[in-house]
Structure 1
């Protein structure tokens, strides 16, 4: 295995690139001023509980190995630990398509190749080619992934978002009015705004997915909890700036969900300065690179957890195999096949660009939320059972048992509410699109929930019975 140590910033950048979702800014923008409320709510009442509970569970002496599998498995039982890990991994096979849709939207603009984003066949081929190229690059090991994550985080996320902030302020102080779709919304949500909750959860999902690499982090007992808190702060700030800037500048009627950030840069830079189109194209390439780095980080982190459960016999022995750099190649191949299937389903059967994008995002979130529901229930077990209170851990959520229960309760309640709200079709979809959205979402979600438990029952339990 590749056991090269990672610095605090390398681990921070890899984790940040797992959850900071530039590609979701246009989706946030549809909520106008309400996006600020939702991002603060989800950041404080959901993201903070996830980060702090994960930090505590990750430093429990007996829970360390296998990431979310170890945390949930030791608390609730191996079957549920396997299900949590499966949901954490499987959601990203859908999420990869969402991420790459954004990459394609940005490259389509930079290359003046509209068919790349508008023609379903060309778009499908592009998704598949981009994903498999990124997968091949990951065969060099986690040291390479960490370097790519650092570069992508700085040049593809932080710099474009800061430029977006500066240009938006300049735009306002130059006498331009913010878009009516931003101004018409109130800070506090109305009843009709709550279906959007599910998209804001995605802004903060994945902070725990780097946990399988915790043994490569310098001084993890001290540094892992500290990095989690820093990520909460950075995540809330960047997501709020990015989403608000897009909403302020691009009218809702013109907004494209997979190229809205580029649209914002167009509006901010090309207003009476059409000769500066090259700057927008450079920024589009940087954004595409930032999301490519995110794809890169997600390609390896969850599969490392799956490799761990393969070592324990919960998966066929073939999936224990790794190359010289410690990368689980057979698992990456299976992952790539699934991503290719999802790309076909969502590109050809999703009902158009915006419907495909919304369905992909919602499905990604509710699958992942299923893992978080198990994580929070597992955390309750850790905190409330007397024998578990005796377990040694390097970090504990401050404030005692009552604060721990309150924190985990907030995270669990928001997780359940977001799953329920996702089955209310977004109001911007007309009747036939709403039907396609709900049907695709419901069928895909039900099948996904059943898969890990059916597999565990008919593969692992059957295998144990024969031994």
Structure 2
């Protein structure tokens, strides 16, 4: 294959990256902020999404830093222990995120098949999460080629088409004279103090962007096209999330909004305005939405384990996790991941205090675990710029503007990451006083335990088995 044929066009790179983070299941969460959602999407896009995208691009193209993604980026600068923690957080957050996504799937399917208990009964809900996730996991054992096709179809038919319909039907709804829900119009563009807890949920709109950074060397003219792709992605991401969140907020009052089936609720209202309610169309769209998120779950099941395979190669986790089947699928890692997801499903479904509380807790926990990896990532970037500037590290791409610009951009990203983590522990205003305790207790305990796991595991197992510490004719610690 020629070098030219290996290059990704701007559009191909854009499409690949967009499929990693654009989804629909967070729209109801955005909708609770009313018009303020536009402000949050702009701020998070410009001051968090872009810093992550630009800084990860530079880290990913440094010679010798590509191994294991964020594990290599953080490990080469802060040391192996912190690199292990970063890759653990990046993987572990998706085990919570899977539960959130499948909650949305169950909410849509409960409408499509007319079984409300699938979304309201804790036992049925937990059983549904387990069945869907393990079936999708078993599907991965045959390899990712089929799954990739399903993921592409799911993105087109389960995300792009429903969002387009949502826009058209909402315009029609307003044009017919129906009033906007007061929960949308009662809030202004700028947030107030009580709106601050919502910040953490808006970070979810852009998470996963760094996953495309390792492919920057395959992009045509990366110095020009990568920043351009990121700016386009910010615009598209903000536009789609604004359309989805605003439509839900305009149509469904916050007091009646279900966070895991709010998008379907919106379509039910939009399609019942005529003389004959289009129940069949609502069910069809619910199936498409469920398929879209199900396809996204499938595409993420194997992806995050690639970094853990690199960790296994270094000896930081047991050697059995290096093994793959004939289709190059890391079966032991997927089984371990499935067990962890099953545990989270039990904790969040039976200990979450109800549909909206469980969903809010799952989203907040997903984001703050992921942000813990980003905090380490930005600190590592500061070390790279301030302490390793004279080491002659070759790279294909650099954040534009020189040293001051790099520090400023990374500073925005670190500040937003810390701010969002803090906001998660301020209970959302939509929770009842009886639900606040459950939310904070579940979130706090889960987060503390999660932060401790990688450092305890590294101390007890990883550092004693790491090949970094084995005599192979090199220094004890290459970061010293």
Q: TM-score, normalised by structure 1?
A: 0.94
For residues 462 and 138 of structure 2, the distance between their equivalents in structure 1, rounded to whole angstroms, comes to 30
Query: For 1:114-163, what per-residue CA distance to the aligned partner results, in whole angstroms no more than 9, with x for missing partners?
Result: 11111111111110111111112222334333322221221111111111
Unaligned runs of 5+ in 2: 1-5, 472-480
For residues 10 and 147 of structure 1, the distance between their equivalents in structure 2, rounded to whole angstroms, comes to 15
Query: Per the alignment, in what secondary structure is the counterpart of residue 395 of structure 2?
Result: coil
Change (3 A) 1:318 1:227: farther
Shift of 1:12: 4.6
Shift of 1:387: 3.8
For residues 466 and 390 of structure 1, the distance between their equivalents in structure 2, rounded to whole angstroms, comes to 27
After the TM superposition, which of the residue ranges 146-155 and 306-315 deviates more from structure 2?
146-155
Shift of 1:14: 4.9
For residues 221 and 313 of structure 1, the distance between their equivalents in structure 2, rounded to whole angstroms, comes to 34
Query: For 1:157-205, what per-residue CA distance to the aligned partner results, in whole angstroms no more than 9, with x for missing partners?
Result: 1111111111111212222211111000010000010011000011111
Partner of 1:358: 360
CA contact (8 A) 1:59 1:221 kept: no
Partner of 1:452: 454
Query: Per the alignment, in what secondary structure is the counterpart of residue 81 of structure 2?
Result: helix
- Aligned with 1:175 (options 177, 180, 183): 177
**Equivalent residue runs for 1:268-279 within 5 Å:** 268-279=270-281
Partner of 1:83: 85
CA contact (8 A) 1:13 1:146 kept: no
How many aligned positions are there? 463
Partner of 1:70: 72
- Aligned with 1:385 (options 387, 401, 420): 387
Partner of 2:309: 307
For residues 459 and 13 of structure 1, the distance between their equivalents in structure 2, rounded to whole angstroms, comes to 40
Change (3 A) 1:302 1:210: farther
1:125 maps onto 2:152 in alignment: no
Query: For 1:374-415, what per-residue CA distance to the aligned partner results, in whole angstroms no more than 9, with x for missing partners?
Result: 111111122222446631111111111111111111111011
For residues 56 and 444 of structure 2, the distance between their equivalents in structure 1, rounded to whole angstroms, comes to 29
Partner of 1:111: 113
CA contact (8 A) 2:352 2:358 kept: yes
Change (3 A) 1:6 1:353: farther
For residues 6 and 110 of structure 1, the distance between their equivalents in structure 2, rounded to whole angstroms, comes to 42
1:17 maps onto 2:22 in alignment: no
More helix by share: 1
**Equivalent residue runs for 1:229-378 within 5 Å:** 229-378=231-380
CA contact (8 A) 1:155 1:286 kept: yes
Partner of 2:476: none
Change (3 A) 1:415 1:303: same
For residues 156 and 177 of structure 1, the distance between their equivalents in structure 2, rounded to whole angstroms, comes to 28
For residues 269 and 246 of structure 1, the distance between their equivalents in structure 2, rounded to whole angstroms, comes to 13
Query: Per the alignment, in what secondary structure is the counterpart of residue 459 of structure 1?
Result: helix
Change (3 A) 1:388 1:440: farther
Partner of 1:400: 402
Query: Per the alignment, in what secondary structure is the counterpart of residue 64 of structure 2?
Result: coil
For residues 314 and 173 of structure 1, the distance between their equivalents in structure 2, rounded to whole angstroms, comes to 60
For residues 435 and 175 of structure 2, the distance between their equivalents in structure 1, rounded to whole angstroms, comes to 39
For residues 328 and 213 of structure 2, the distance between their equivalents in structure 1, rounded to whole angstroms, comes to 16
Query: Per the alignment, in what secondary structure is the counterpart of residue 210 of structure 2?
Result: coil
For residues 386 and 436 of structure 1, the distance between their equivalents in structure 2, rounded to whole angstroms, comes to 45
Unaligned runs of 5+ in 1: none
Partner of 1:51: 53
Partner of 1:188: 190
Query: Per the alignment, in what secondary structure is the counterpart of residue 385 of structure 2?
Result: helix
Partner of 1:441: 443
Partner of 1:147: 149
Query: Per the alignment, in what secondary structure is the counterpart of residue 23 of structure 1?
Result: coil
1:166 maps onto 2:168 in alignment: yes
Shift of 1:11: 5.8
For residues 306 and 207 of structure 1, the distance between their equivalents in structure 2, rounded to whole angstroms, comes to 18
For residues 354 and 130 of structure 2, the distance between their equivalents in structure 1, rounded to whole angstroms, comes to 18
Q: TM-score, normalised by structure 2?
A: 0.91
Change (3 A) 1:207 1:388: farther
Change (3 A) 1:92 1:152: same
Shift of 1:328: 0.9
Partner of 2:474: none
